[in-house]
């Protein structure tokens, strides 16, 4: 902890110094392995870094601190707000303590396919969400909603989950997000909030029976070593929120701000591309099927899951969040109608 405080203090001094120089170093804190081929988060961060440095002719350099070198995901958000670092890709769990309305993103079984998520988060809902985050926090700018790895699957070491009844009594790790706990409990399982760093050992020792995450995260976390069953529920899509420090952003020239917006757009595209590639590769579903029993929900069973989870989620939002959260949820639902019915390159 002393080392972290010392590093944080040093970075804070550097942040002050950087504002006085024409050439700037933008510090980017992330959770995962800093390899653009390893995970969607660093596909995003690496592409962003490359464009910022090349398109500004070195006026802005990006230094990426991966693997939680500067603190955990929640601490990254505060560090961006304080200007200690300049950028991060925040999970919904890390955002929740700063911006509780992020929970509206966790509407279960909302999206028909990955393309629908692009439509919703790149469109009117994404713009409204970004604007509300910026207004609520005041000291950040939202540059987009990169892909964390796609739809969530549920893994466990207890039994195959092929029906709603199979969920009964299975202890599933969730983020500390209240909605995740509501959804898992509505499906008949036992929700068990647990810090990310404790998940593998919790699965290994049987403290928890299972967990839920996108396939790329299940793969690079090696959960198949301690989990026997995986069900392709596709029940959640939970993107990152790309946050940058507002004072840093407003200190850029208009041309540099435009470059940053472009770099962020390409970052989002890269996260989505790598997530789909990993899903289809030996590092994704094909590889996991070699060591796990993989089950997909049929349409009838999926509808049973929907009928159990969605009303509980909407009641949670109505009971625990404010009118603005309900407004955002209603906008999301209206956008979903078009997104889920839209076919690629068809009017």
Token pair for 233: 């529920």
Q: Does residue 209 sit in the same domain as residue 328?
A: yes
Do 111 and 199 lie in a common domain?
Answer: no
pLDDT single digits (tens) 149-193: 999 999 999 999 999 999 999 999 999 889 999 999 999 999 999
Q: Which of 229, 256, 279 is the last residue of a domain?
A: 279
Same domain flag for 243 and 228 = no
Residues 229 and 302 in one domain: yes
Residue 84 and residue 105 in one domain:
yes
CATH code: domain of residue 55 = 3.40.190.170
Task: Looking at the structure, tell me whether residues 224 and 121 fall in a common domain.
Answer: no
Under a CB-based contact definition with an 8 Å cutoff, are residues 31 and 90 in contact? Answer: no
pLDDT at 347: 66
- What pLDDT does 121 receive? 98
Question: By mean pLDDT, which of 9-23, 205-219, 260-274 is the weakest?
Answer: 9-23
Structural domain harbouring 159: 152-237+291-341
Distance CA 245, CA 241 (A): 13
303, two tokens? 């509808």
Q: Is residue 268 part of a domain?
A: yes
pLDDT digits (tens, 9 = 90+) for 276-319: 999 999 999 999 999 999 999 999 999 999 999 999 999 999 99
Q: Are residues 82 and 220 in the same domain?
A: no
Would you say residue 86 lies in a domain? yes
- Contact status, residue 11 vs residue 47, Cβ threshold 8 Å: no
Say if CB 160 and CB 297 are below 8 A apart. Answer: no
Please indicate, yes or no, whether residues 81 and 49 belong to a single structural domain of this protein.
Answer: yes
Q: Which of 150, 312, 129, 174 is nearest to 237 (CA)?
A: 150
Residue that is written with structure tokens 């026997």 in the block = 228
Same domain, 135 and 259: yes
pLDDT of 328 strictly over 50: yes
E strands, 293-341, are 293-296
- Both 47 and 84 in a single domain? yes
Q: Are residues 135 and 32 in the same domain?
A: yes
Q: Please, which contacts does 185-190 make with residues 24 or more away whose CB atoms are closer than 8 Å?
A: 185/312, 186/308, 186/309, 186/311, 186/312, 186/313, 187/305, 187/308, 187/309, 188/164, 188/308
Q: What does the pLDDT read at residue 22?
A: 61
The mean pLDDT of 17-41, rounded to a whole number, is: 83
Residue 347 domain-assigned? no
Q: Which two tokens stand for residue 228?
A: 């026997």
| Total domains in the fold of the chain | 2
Please compute, for residue 227, the number of CA atoms within 13 A of its CA located in the half-sphere on the CB side: 35
Instruction: Answer yes or no: is 299 within a domain.
Output: yes
d(CA 288, CA 79): 36
pLDDT tens digits for range 55-109: 999 999 999 999 999 999 999 999 999 999 999 999 999 999 999 999 999 999 9
Clarify whether residues 185 and 61 are in a common domain.
Answer: no
Are 65 and 80 in contact, with CB atoms under 8 Å apart? no
Q: 0.75 exceeded by the pTM?
A: yes
Q: Of 262, 268, 243, whose CA–CA distance to 26 is shortest?
A: 243
Q: What is the mean pLDDT of the chain?
A: 93
Q: Distance (Å, rounded) from C-alpha 219 to C-alpha 237?
A: 17
Would residue 346 count as lying in a domain? Answer: no
Residue 286 falls inside a structural domain: no
Asked if residue 328 is part of any domain, the answer here is yes
Identify whether 285 is part of a domain.
no
State the burial class of residue 255 (Cβ atoms within 10 Å of its Cβ: 0-12, 13-18, 19+): exposed
């Amino acid at each position: 902890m002393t080392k972290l405080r010392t590093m944080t203090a040093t970075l804070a001094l550097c942040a002050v110094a950087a504002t006085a120089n024409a050439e700037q170093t933008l510090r980017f804190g992330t959770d995962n392995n800093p390899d653009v081929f390893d995970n969607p988060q660093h596909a995003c961060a690496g592409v962003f870094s490359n464009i910022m440095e090349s398109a500004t002719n070195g006026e802005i350099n990006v230094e990426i601190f991966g693997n939680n070198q500067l603190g955990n995901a929640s601490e990254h958000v505060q560090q961006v707000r304080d200007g200690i670092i300049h950028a991060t890709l925040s999970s919904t769990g890390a955002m929740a303590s700063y911006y509780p309305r992020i929970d509206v993103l966790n509407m279960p079984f909302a999206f028909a396919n990955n393309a629908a998520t692009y439509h919703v988060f790149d469109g009117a809902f994404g713009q409204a969400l970004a604007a509300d985050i910026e207004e609520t926090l005041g000291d950040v700018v939202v540059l987009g909603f990169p892909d964390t790895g796609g739809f969530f699957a549920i893994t466990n070491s207890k039994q195959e989950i092929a029906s709603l009844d199979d969920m009964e009594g299975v202890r599933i790790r969730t983020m500390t997000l209240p909605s995740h706990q509501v959804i898992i409990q509505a499906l008949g399982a036992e929700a068990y909030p647990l810090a990310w760093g404790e998940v593998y050992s919790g699965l290994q020792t049987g403290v928890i029976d299972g967990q839920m995450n996108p396939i790329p995260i299940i793969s690079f976390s090696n959960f198949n070593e301690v989990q026997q069953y995986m069900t392709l529920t596709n029940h959640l899509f939970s993107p990152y929120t790309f946050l940058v420090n507002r004072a840093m952003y407003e200190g850029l020239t208009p041309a540099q701000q435009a470059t940053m917006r472009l770099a962020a757009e390409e970052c989002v595209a890269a996260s989505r591309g790598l997530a789909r590639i990993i899903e289809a590769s030996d590092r994704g579903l094909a590889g996991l099927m070699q060591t796990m029993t993989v089950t997909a929900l049929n349409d009838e069973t999926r509808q049973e899951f929907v009928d159990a989870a969605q009303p509980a989620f909407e009641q949670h939002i109505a009971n625990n969040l404010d009118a603005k959260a309900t407004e955002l949820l209603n906008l999301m639902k209206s956008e979903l109608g078009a997104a889920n019915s839209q076919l690629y390159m068809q009017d």
